[in-house]
Amino acid sequence: GSKIFINNEWHDAVSKKTFPTINPATGEVICQVAEGDKADVDKAVKAARAAFQLGSPWRRMDASHRGKLLNRLADLIERDRAYLAALETLDNGKPYSIAYLVDLDMVVKCLRYFAGWSDKFHGKTIPLDGDFFCYTRHEPVGVCGQIIPWNFPLLMQAWKLGPALATGNVVVMKVAEQTPLSALYVANLIKEAGFPPGVVNIIPGYGPTAGAAISAHMDVDKVAFTGSTEVGHLIKKAAAESNLKRVTLELGGKSPNIIMSDADMDWAVDQAHFALFFNQGQCCCAGSRTYVQEDIYNEFVERSVEKAKSRVVGNPFDFKTEQGPQVDEEQFKKILGYISTGKREGAKLLCGGNPAADRGYFVQPTVFGDVQDNMTIAREEIFGPVMQIMKFKTIEEIIERANNSKYGLAAAVFTKDIDKANYVSQALRAGTVWVNCYNVFGAQAPFGGYKASGNGRELGEYGLEAYLEVKNVTIKIPQKNS
C-alpha cells in the first residue's frame, strides 16, 4: 500500500500524481507514493463523516468493543513488528535495533493503554439548582484531522490514533511526505483488525496542499498537529479562519538540561548525551541547551566530547550503529548551516561539525562549548546531532535563563538534593520536567508544551480531553431529591 487509504480501500490520488519517498541512508528512491491533495482530503472527510453518522456501526458500537479493536490492532502490530521496524528504518533512517526495541514497543503499549480507556471515561451527574436531573455526556468530537511528523512515524501515528479511536472519533490522517510507508502499512492492519470503513483514513501528501486542506476544511471538527512551531502557527490560523475547529499542537522545543554540581557525574553525562543525540537529534524535546554548574563544567565538557566522539554513525540496519542519517536533504543542509553559524558567532567547536559520509544525510556528532544564550545555536531548534554546553553559577540565574525561551516543551535537572529538585521542577515553565533522567516517556503520562511548544496535552488520561466534546443534558423533573 503506497496509495491513499479511504473507507478501508486503496485509492490513487484524484490527480493521479505520485511523489517519491527516499531512503536517507543512501539518497535513493524507495518507491512512489500517491500524492494526496485537497480533492483526496475532501473524499476522506466525506467517508469519515459518513462513518460518524448517528446510528452508524461505529457510533452504536459498545465502548468496550472499541477497546477490543484497538487491542486487536496492537496484536497485529506485534505480529508484524519486524517488518514494520524495517520499513521505519528504511524510510526514516533510525537504527533498526531502536526501531524494533523502542519505537515498536512504545507503539504497542500506547495502543493497549488507550484500548483500556475506551469504556472508562465518564461523564458526570450534577446537583444543579432547581428541579432538574442534570448530566454530561462525553461525546466524541467528530471528524479529526491528524497531521503527523517524520521523526517517529509509527509512534506519532499511535499517539494520534489511540486517544481518537478510544473515544469514538473518526480520523483523516496526513502522514509526513518524508516517511509515509510504515503508517500506510498500518492502514492494512486497521482494516484487518475490524475497524468499520471510514473510521480511519490515511492520506500521504505535502503540508501546503493536503495538510492545509485539512486545517482549512469546513467539515473537520478538530485538527491535531505535531511538527514545527512555524507550521503550528499556520494551522491555528487556518482553524480560526475556517470553522473554529478545535486545535491541539505539539511543536518544537529548545529544552534546558540543568546539571547541578552535586549530580552523579557519570550518569549526568550519559543522560545529557542521550537527551541530545537520541534519534539523530530529531526529537522535539531534545535537551539542546545543556547548562552545567561552574564547578563541574570543565570535566563535564571533556567527558561529553569523549562520549560524542565514540558515537557510532553508520548503516542503520547494522546492529552496531547508534546513529543513522538525518531524515532528508533539507534537514541535513539546515543542520550544517547551524553548525557554521555556531562557529561564526564564536561558539567553540569541540568535535564533529561535518558530514559523516559521502552518501546519505549523515552528520557527525557535534559538540559546542562556551555557548552564550544569545547565540543562534542556543536559541533556535537545530533538530540534529549538535550539542550546546553552557555554564551557570546559581539556581536563580539558571531558572531565569532556562525559562528565557519562547519554547517550553521539556526540561530536566540533575541533582541529589531534594530541595533543589523540588524547587527547580516547580519553577521551570515546561510541560515535562525530568529529575535525574531524560526522555522518559510512558503512555500513562501527559506530554505537551508550555508557550510556543504547543497547545494541549497528549497521552495519559489528559490526552482524552482534546478528543471529547462535553454535552450537558438537563431534564426537568417533578421534584429533585439529593
Partner 1 sequence: MKWCSPIFINNEWHDSVSGKKFEVFNPANEEKICEVAEGDKADIDKAVKAARKAFELGSPWRTMDASERGRLLNKLADLVERDRLTLATMEAIDGGKLFSTAYLMDLGACIKTIRYCAGWADKIHGRTVPMDGNFFTFTRHEPVGVCGQIIPWNFPLVMFIWKIAPALCCGNTVVVKPAEQTPLSALYMGSLIKEAGFPPGVVNIVPGFGPTAGAAISHHMDIDKVSFTGSTEVGKLIKEAAGKTNLKRVTLELGGKSPNIIFADADLDEAVEFAHVGLFYHQGQCCIAGSRIFVEEPIYDEFVRRSIERAKKYTLGDPLSPGVQQGPQIDKEQFQKILDLIESGKKEGAKLECGGGPWGNKGYFIQPTVFSNVTDDMRIAKEEIFGPVQQIMKFKTIDEVIKRANNTTYGLAAAVFTKDIDKALTFAAALQAGTVWVNCYSALSAQCPFGGFKMSGNGRELGEYGLQEYTEVKTVTIKIPQKNS
Whichever of 114 and 383 has its CB closer to partner 1, that residue is 114
- Site residue total, partner 1 (CB under 8 A): 32
- Element at 468 (helix H, strand E): strand 468-476
Cα–Cα distance list, 78 to 105, 118, 165, 179 (Å): 8, 20, 19, 20
> What is the nearest approach in angstroms of partner 1 to the Cβ of residue 387?
31
Q: Which residues touch 127 (CB under 8 Å, ≥6 apart)?
A: 134, 482
> What is the nearest approach in angstroms of partner 1 to the Cβ of residue 113?
7
Is residue 427 near partner 1 by the rule CB under 8 A?
yes
Is residue 113 near partner 1 by the rule CB under 8 A?
yes
Is residue 36 near partner 1 by the rule CB under 8 A?
no
Is residue 423 near partner 1 by the rule CB under 8 A?
yes
> What is the nearest approach in angstroms of partner 1 to the Cβ of residue 481?
5
> What is the nearest approach in angstroms of partner 1 to the Cβ of residue 125?
10
Instruction: Give the 3-state DSSP-derived string for 404-436, with helices as H, strands as E and coil as C.
Output: CCCCCCEEEEECCCHHHHHHHHHHCCCCEEEEC
Number of other residues whose CB lies within 10 A of the CB of residue 12: 14
- Give, as one character, the DSSP assignment of residue 34: E
Cα–Cα distance list, 115 to 15, 63, 67, 128, 300 (Å): 37, 10, 4, 33, 44
Whichever of 65 and 237 has its CB closer to partner 1, that residue is 65
Whichever of 251 and 443 has its CB closer to partner 1, that residue is 443
Is residue 127 near partner 1 by the rule CB under 8 A?
no
Residue 106 identity (one-letter amino acid): M
Q: Which of 250, 329, 400, 458 is catalytic?
A: 250
Handedness of CA 372, 376, 377, 380 (dihedral sign): positive
Q: Which of 79, 120, 124, 344 contacts partner 1 by CB under 8 A?
A: 120
Q: Which of residues 400-419 bind partner 1 (CB under 8 A)?
A: 418-419
- Reduced to 3 states (helix: H, G, I; strand: E, B; else coil), residue 388 is strand
Whichever of 328 and 458 has its CB closer to partner 1, that residue is 458
> What is the nearest approach in angstroms of partner 1 to the Cβ of residue 261?
18
d(CA 434, CA 407): 16
Is residue 479 near partner 1 by the rule CB under 8 A?
yes
Residue 250 appears among annotated catalytic residues: yes
Whichever of 190 and 427 has its CB closer to partner 1, that residue is 427
Whichever of 112 and 273 has its CB closer to partner 1, that residue is 112
User: Beta 18-23 vs 28-34: how paired, if at all?
Assistant: antiparallel
Q: Which residues touch 321 (CB under 8 Å, ≥6 apart)?
A: 95, 97, 312, 313, 314, 315
Q: Which of residues 454-473 bind partner 1 (CB under 8 A)?
A: 461
Of 10-18, 338-346, 380-388, 421-429, which segment contacts partner 1 by CB under 8 A? 421-429
* Residue 80: Cβ-neighbour burial (10 angstroms; 0-12, 13-18, 19+): middle
Q: Which of 22, 193, 339, 443 contacts partner 1 by CB under 8 A?
A: 443
Of 107-115, 266-274, 299-307, 324-332, which segment contacts partner 1 by CB under 8 A? 107-115
Instruction: Give the 3-state DSSP-derived string for 252-291, with helices as H, strands as E and coil as C.
Output: CCCCEEEECCCCCHHHHHHHHHHHHHHHHHCCCCCCCEEE
CA angle 391, 394, 399 (to 5 degrees): 85
Beta-sheet strand order (sheet of 222-226): 9-11, 4-6, 200-204, 170-175, 143-147, 222-226, 246-250, 454-455
Of 115-123, 146-154, 156-164, 230-238, which segment contacts partner 1 by CB under 8 A? 115-123
Is residue 426 near partner 1 by the rule CB under 8 A?
yes
Is residue 118 near partner 1 by the rule CB under 8 A?
yes
User: Beta 289-293 vs 386-392: how paired, if at all?
Assistant: parallel
Whichever of 139 and 370 has its CB closer to partner 1, that residue is 139
Q: Which of 312, 437, 440, 477 contacts partner 1 by CB under 8 A?
A: 477
Is residue 480 near partner 1 by the rule CB under 8 A?
yes
Of 79-87, 110-118, 183-191, 281-289, which segment contacts partner 1 by CB under 8 A? 110-118
Of the chain, the end-to-end C-alpha distance in Å amounts to: 58
Write each residue from 42 to 71 as x if it is in contact with partner 1 (CB under 8 A), else as -, in one continuous string. Answer: ---------------------xx--xx--x
Q: On the CB side of 274, how many CA atoms lie within 13 Å of its CA?
A: 12
Is residue 116 near partner 1 by the rule CB under 8 A?
yes
Whichever of 354 and 422 has its CB closer to partner 1, that residue is 422
Residue 322 identity (one-letter amino acid): E
Active-site amino acid positions: 250
Interface with partner 1 (CB under 8 A) = 63-64, 67-68, 71, 109, 112-113, 115-120, 122, 133, 418-419, 422-423, 426-427, 442-444, 461, 475, 477-481
